[in-house]
């Protein structure tokens, strides 16, 4: 009986263990890791942040730059402050959602592709 259990355990270990070369070359695995970080903007300010969000939020760039001024202050701004500035509800939600994602490191505004003349 002990011999049967020993064979089951060794066979399971062989089936579960994946050689390192095979794990690296697994198709579809590389899609989770981006090698080109040049698609993202290095310096992010209020205009770049709002243009990255899109959906009409970029119309409030001048208002937010004059009232808030600093990008890091925008990241910690609350909804009541944005409401007092006259930003509509849906756009406030977008700004706060993407500010939270940016703080966590889950989202960054993309760089605009250079247009060929």
DSSP of 38-67, one letter per residue? Answer: TTB-SS--HHHHHHHH-TTGGGGHHHHHHH
CATH code linked to domain 46-104 = 1.10.150
Question: What tens digit of pLDDT does each residue of 51-102 get?
Answer: 999 999 999 999 999 999 899 999 999 999 999 999 999 999 999 999 999 9
Stretch 35-40: mean pLDDT? 56
pLDDT at position 24 over 70: no
What does pTM read for this prediction? 0.61
**Domain residues of the chain, as ranges?**
46-104
- 1 or 45: which leads in pLDDT: 45
Position 114 scores a pLDDT of 45
Structure confidence at residue 73 (pLDDT): 93
């Amino acid at each position: 009986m002990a011999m049967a259990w020993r064979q089951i355990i060794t066979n399971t270990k062989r089936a579960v263990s994946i050689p390192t070369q095979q794990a690296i070359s697994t198709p579809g695995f590389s899609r989770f890791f981006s090698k080109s970080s040049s698609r993202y903007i290095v310096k992010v300010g209020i205009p770049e942040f709002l243009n990255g969000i899109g959906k009409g939020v970029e119309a409030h760039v001048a208002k937010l730059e004059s009232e808030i001024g600093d990008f890091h202050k925008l990241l910690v701004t609350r909804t009541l402050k944005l409401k007092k500035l006259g930003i509509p509800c849906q756009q406030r939600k977008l700004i706060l959602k993407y500010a939270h994602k940016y703080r966590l490191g889950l989202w960054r505004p993309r760089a605009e592709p250079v247009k060929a003349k």
